[in-house]
Structure 1
């Protein structure tokens, strides 16, 4: 996907009504040939989004993952993110959140993951 396609996909995600769970989670890019390539794509997208919404908060999810592992109930989509993404770039846009991360869910390689939610981070 190109940067324009990533932006279009994210804009469509943000335009959709939320299901009952209050979030949308999507893969914007699948199987980047290298970690450097995937990181560069995420950073390019984050730079454009920073132009729209300001700089993102850089949030490590390891403490959330540890709390989840200790049995704390982490609400969706944050439980899904913390078990698959080590860190996110996070924006507060109005009363909603937009997060970007890099996930490795299987041997297909890294994926740029976007989350749009009305659920506040725990």
Structure 2
């Protein structure tokens, strides 16, 4: 996907109503107060294709950088939040979504406040043998 396609997906999510219950959507997962979109794929490489995994990680990193740059041009400098403490808290207590889910797959997120919603982007890690995956979220729930 291109940066323009990522921006289009984010714009669509900003105008969608939130469902009453969590479930799959056409771009990822949605639930009460949030949408979470998978921008591109994560690939499983196994133990034997470290070069392919590294190349895919570089492509995802470049896509992440391009997207955060485009969103910064639109809405100004992002706040960057570490989710490490949220991940620890999620072990013993419930954390509001999408923050709980995001804390399980990334260390930090870029966040913009746009009108009454938060726009969030990150690179998710699904495991050591997978390439990272670019994610975007739109939520009314304040960052923890």
Is the TM value for this pair above 0.5? yes
Give the structure-2-normalised TM-score. Answer: 0.78
TM-superposed CA distance for 1:104, in Å, is 2.1
Higher relative contact order (CA 8 A, sep 6+): 1
4+ long deviations beyond 4 Å: none
**Which structure 2 segments of 5+ residues have no match?**
21-31, 44-54
Query: Over residues 85-116 of structure 1, what are the superposed CA-to-partner deviations in whole Å (9 max), with x where a residue is unaligned?
Result: 21100111112101101112255521100000
What does 1:40-55 correspond to in 2, within 5 Å? 40-55=62-77
Cα separation, 1, equivalents of 2:95 and 2:88: 11
Cα separation, 1, equivalents of 2:15 and 2:131: 28
Give the structure-1-normalised TM-score. Answer: 0.90
* Corresponding residue pairs, total: 121
Superposed CA RMSD in Å reads: 1.5
Structure-2 residue corresponding to 1:9: 9
Structure possessing the higher radius of gyration over alpha carbons: 2
Q: Do 1:30 and 1:108's aligned partners in 2 also have CA atoms closer than 8 Å?
A: no
